[in-house]
Amino acid sequence: MRLRRITSPYLFLLPLIAVEFAVILFPLFTIVRTSFQFYFLLRPEKVGSWIGLENYWAVFVDSLNAPLTFWSLRNSIFWAFANTTFRFLLGVGVAMLLSQPVFRRLKLTGLTRVLVLTSWVTPGIIGMAIWRLMYQSTTLGFLNAALTQVGILSEPVAWLEDPSLIWLSCIIASAWKGFPFVTIVLSAALVTIPKEYYDSAAVDGASGLRRFWHITLPLVLPVAIPTYVTQLMWTFNNFVQIHTLTRGGPADRTMILPILVFRHAFEYLELGMASALGAFMLVVVLVSVYLQHKLVRYG
Amino acid sequence: MTLKTRTKDLVAGVACLTLFIAVAAYIWIPMLWMVLTSFKSRQDIARGQVWVPENPTFESYVNAIYRDELPKYFLNSTLVAVGVALVALAIAYPAAYAFSRYMRIRGMTTASTSVMAVWAVPPVLLILPYFLIFQISGLYDTRLGLVIAHISLTLPITVWILRGFFAGIPVDLEEAAMVDGCTRWGALLRIIAPLTLPGAASAALLAFTMSWDDLILSLALTSSEVAQTIPVRISMYFGYWGFYWPDVAAFCVLSTMPILVLYYVLQRYFIHGLTMGAVKR
């Protein structure tokens, strides 16, 4: 009886641990191994032989690949921060908007949430296909058609090719899919703040801005920070959005690490180099998760 | 209430509603544009017909269903996603229970942290080992293989959501049942399980959605219509120059509709799941 009481918690966990081991840990171990092996699939006779750090050298030092590797790393970091910050601010803004009394008074709270979350539920590739259509330069593209008709633009703009617009276009499309999640989570956090806090602050004569700074912000931060960090991670890891919008182009301008790993593996069939790059990505992500865990103490 | 505060309230209300209409336009115009485009005919496009198609046609829908074989891909996506949801639930449910009830036992914190760390693993990494392992084991280009691969993505979020739901159920309930002679398993099945049904629904729905959403694993691990999913088929359109937009639009509209219907019918569980994972800790 006593033995059972001690072991049963672990028994509950056993399936999860076993499956995680099989579907995550073992594959990750395989990646680290293949990153030290020759894995160019077009030369099957040599595949699997140990070549030390050659894959890492090819990806990070060799002048054939290294510039694109570091360019993608730079893009990935820029994309993750710029995109997450934009969608986060938009998400928070909309959450604050939906918490205004007018929506409650008109009994619109439920409806607004459902409407907002629609774009989040739409599968990622379909959302990005929709935006690729919106950005077309022909009359098929809504933005160009609308803006030229209104007279804001004199001629169509290549939203997904013009170097000065391309990241902005990608961010607007990506935020469309991503911001509702932030809004829903933050709305739930805003609801938990007792109304009395605001009432007594109002009695004491605190302005709207001060109420936000001294009541809303500190109470929402424990939810907002982890949400920002997970969004940052998801954006850094996300493949489908840039892949669907630009395929990393034109001329590798929007190349990011996930797409580069995919290209090494399935276009060049260089699984060894892809693994080396992948192992590097893993280190980047795990180190940032660790740092975030150490630096930001929440909850 | 004085007239002055009432006018102030009214102005604020109108301003809020206007802002919300702008947000709604940002979300809805692209979706409506996709629907409009799917009905455009070649004549409309040739003549530069911008807004409402003058000669609307169902040709693109016929193409999507018959020529591009949407039902096959739809079946693949649905079977894989349902499989993922059920398996993820079966594995995550007992684990989430353990996490919510025995957190003080040795090793639990480590186990929980490492499960959550899986959240950070970039899916693009997993395609390489899965590709190699599936080639050898015969799981390449099968729906079963995709279920296994997608499980890796969905487990952390299902555990996270379910743990939130378990945390909301007082331990006293089970203890009372156990005092009355129930075993722990009996208490779990008779008392706790019915109470966590909404949580299980939320977790299963999010796992389903994540599996449906996945492109990268499906793209790398399938090569034919035997297992290819909807996202893979849509990405194939963009692989060729000169694809015909109304066809893509019709394919997207048809394959999104069931997901949106599912969402509108079960929205309570979606929203509950999302907020449960993040707010209750």
Indicate which of A96, A105, A118, A120 best probes the interface with B, i.e. most B CBs within 10 Å of its own CB.
A118
Q: Above 90 in pLDDT, residue A37? A: no
The answer to whether residue B126 sits within a structural domain is yes
CB contact under 8 A, A100 and B118: no
How many of the other CB atoms lie within 10 Å of CB of A266?
17
CA-nearest residue to A219 within chain B is B279
The reported pLDDT for the residue numbered B150 is: 93
B33 and B73 together in one domain: no
pLDDT at position B76 is 94
Whether the per-residue pLDDT at A4 is higher than 60: the answer is: no
A121 and B50 in contact by Cβ < 8 A? no
With beta carbons under 8 A apart, name residues in chain B contacting A136.
Answer: 245
Residue A4 lies in a domain: no
d(CA B153, CA B207): 9
Give a yes or no: residue B57 inside a domain: no
pLDDT at B159 > cutoff 80? yes
Same domain? For B26 and B74 the reply is: no
Residue A10 lies in a domain: no
3-state secondary structure A47-109: CCCECCCHHHHHHHCCCCCHHHHHHHHHHHHHHHHHHHHHHHHHHHHHHHHHCCHHHHHCCCH
Pair (B215, B268) in one structural domain:
yes
pLDDT score recorded for residue A199 = 82
Q: What is the pLDDT of residue A1?
A: 47
Sequence-ordered list of residues with C-beta below 8 angstroms from that of B173, at least 6 positions apart, any chain: B187, B191, B192, B195
Q: Which of B125, B202, B208, B245 to substitute to test the interface with A, most A CBs within 10 Å? A: B125
- Based on its alpha-carbon atoms, the radius of gyration of chain A, rounded to whole angstroms, reads 24
Closest-CA distance of chain A to residue B126, Å: 6
Domain containing B206: what range?
Answer: 69-279
Closest CA to B253 of B45, B23, B74, B46: B74
As a whole number of angstroms, the distance between CA A245 and CA B233 comes to 16
pLDDT in the model for residue B84: 96
Quote the minimal CA–CA distance from A237 to chain B in Å.
Answer: 5
Mutate to test the interface with B, among A13, A172, A287 (most CBs of B within 10 A): A13
pLDDT range class, residue B181, cuts 50, 70, 90: confident
C-beta of residue B157 within 8 angstroms of C-beta of residue B210: yes
pLDDT value for B281 = 42
pLDDT of residue A6: 61
Residue A129: list chain B partners with CB under 8 A.
Answer: 34, 234, 237-238, 248, 252
- pLDDT of the residue at A168: 94
Shared-domain flag, residues B146 and B251: yes
Q: Token match 């490492």: residue? A: B114
DSSP label at residue A254: T
Mean pLDDT confidence for A15-22: 87
Q: What span, in angstroms and rounded, lies between the C-alpha atoms of A272 and A47?
A: 9
Range among A44-58, A189-203, B212-226 with highest mean pLDDT value: B212-226
Mean pLDDT value across chain A:
86
For residue B97, the chain A residues in CB contact (below 8 A) are 12
Residue A29 domain-assigned?
yes
Same domain as B149, residue B28:
no
Q: Are both B260 and B193 inside the same structural domain? A: yes
CA B180 to CA B188: how far, in whole Å? Answer: 14
B98 vs A12: CB contact, 8 Å cut-off?
yes
Question: What burial letters (b/e) apply to B12-38, b meaning 16+ CB within 10 Å?
Answer: ebeebbeebeebeebbeebbebbebbb
* Chain A partners within 8 Å of B91 (Cβ): 15-16, 19
The number of folded domains in chain A is 1
Q: List, as ranges, residues 129-148 from B with C-beta within 8 Å of A.
A: 129-133, 148
Q: How far is B63 from chain A (nearest CA, A)?
A: 18
Instruction: Give the residue-averaged pLDDT of A142-160.
Output: 85
Q: Which of A251, A245, A269 is nearest to B220 (CA)?
A: A269
Q: Is A9 part of a structural domain of the chain?
A: no
Report the predicted TM-score, pTM, of the whole model to 2 decimal places: 0.89
Number of structural domains chain B divides into: 2
B-chain CB neighbours of A134 within 8 Å are 30, 33
- Residue A2 counted as domain residue: no
d(CA B123, CA A238): 8
Q: Which residue of A has its CA nearest to B48?
A: A139
Q: Quick check: is B43 in a domain? A: no
Which ipTM did the prediction report? 0.89
Please answer yes or no on whether A121 and B98 come within 8 Å at the CB atom: no
Cβ neighbors of B219 (< 8 A, separation 6 or more) are: B231, B232, B235
Q: Is residue A81 in a domain?
A: yes
- Domain check: are B251 and B155 in the same one? yes
pLDDT of residue A3: 52
Which tens digit of pLDDT belongs to each residue from B203-252? 999 899 999 999 999 999 998 888 999 999 999 998 877 788 999 999 99
CA distance A198 to A190: 12
Helix axis angle for A109-121 and B245-265, nearest 10°, is 140
Mean pLDDT of B47-53: 75
Distance CA A47, CA A53 (A): 15
CB contact under 8 A, B125 and A31: yes
Contact B199, B263 (CB under 8 A): no
Q: Cα(B52)–Cα(B35) distance, rounded to whole angstroms?
A: 10
Task: Label each residue of chain B as H, E or C.
Answer: CCHHHHHHHHHHHHHHHHHHHHHHHHHHHHHHHHHHHHCCCHHHHHCCCCCCCCCCCCHHHHHHHHHCCHHHHHHHHHHHHHHHHHHHHHHHHHHHHHHHHCCCCCCHHHHHHHHHHHHHCCHHHHHHHHHHHHHHHCCCCCHHHHHHHHHHHHHHHHHHHHHHHHHCCCHHHHHHHHHCCCCHHHHHHHHHHHHCHHHHHHHHHHHHHHHHHCCHHHHHHCCCCCCCCHHHHHHHHCCCCCCCHHHHHHHHHHHHHHHHHHHHHCHHHHHHHHHHHHHCC
Which of B27, B103, B208, B244 would best serve as a mutation to test chain A binding (most A beta carbons within 10 A)? B27
**B145: domain CATH number?**
1.10.3720.10
- How far is B39 from B61, CA to CA, in rounded Å? 8
What are the tens digits of pLDDT across the range A256-298? 999 999 999 988 888 899 999 999 998 888 888 788 777 765 4
Residue B140 in any domain: the answer is yes
**B214 lies in some domain:** yes
B141 phi-psi bin (left φ>0, alpha ψ -120 to 50, beta other): left
Domain CATH number, residue A235: 1.10.3720.10
How far off is chain B from A62, nearest CA to CA, in Å? Answer: 22
- Candidates A282, A280, A286, A266; CA nearest to A58 is A280
**Which of A5-14, A189-198, B35-44 has the weakest average pLDDT?**
A5-14
The verdict on residue B46 lying in a domain is: no
Torsion of CA B171, B177, B179, B185, to 10 degrees: -90
Alpha-carbon gap, residue A259 to A230, rounded angstroms: 20
Q: Which of residues 179-208 of B touch A (CB under 8 A)?
A: 184
Residue A226 near residue A298 (C-beta atoms within 8 A): yes
pLDDT range class, residue A299, cuts 50, 70, 90: very low
Lowest mean pLDDT among A53-57, A149-153, B242-246, B273-277: B273-277
Please tell me if residue B238 touches chain A, with a CB cutoff of 8 Å: yes
Q: According to the model, what pLDDT value does residue B4 have? A: 74
pLDDT tens profile B101-151: 877 777 777 887 788 788 888 899 899 899 988 988 999 999 999 999 999
Shortest Cα–Cα distance, A70 to chain B (Å): 18
Tell whether the model's pLDDT for residue A165 goes beyond 60.
Answer: yes
Q: Which of residues 4-23 of B touch A (CB under 8 A)?
A: 12-13, 16-17, 19-20, 23
Q: Does the residue A167 lie in any domain?
A: yes
Separation between Cα atoms, residue B148 and residue B152, nearest integer Å: 7
Q: Which domain holds residue A92?
A: 19-295
Give the pLDDT score at A258: 94
pLDDT in tens, B74-102: 999 999 999 999 999 999 998 888 888 87
Which candidate in B38, B127, B128 is best for mutational testing of the A interface (most A CBs within 10 A)?
A: B128
The reported pLDDT for the residue numbered B1 is 53
Distance CA B62, CA A48 (A): 48
pLDDT band at residue A239 under the 50/70/90 scheme:
very high
d(CA B198, CA B272) in angstroms, rounded, equals: 9
On whether residue A8 sits in a domain, the answer given is no
For residue A148, pLDDT beyond 90: no
Across chain B, mean pLDDT equals 86
Distance separating alpha carbons of residues B281 and B277, to the nearest angstrom: 8
The mean per-residue pLDDT over the stretch A26-44 comes to 86
The yes-or-no verdict on residue B280 having pLDDT over 50 is: no
Overall average pLDDT of the A93-98 stretch? 91
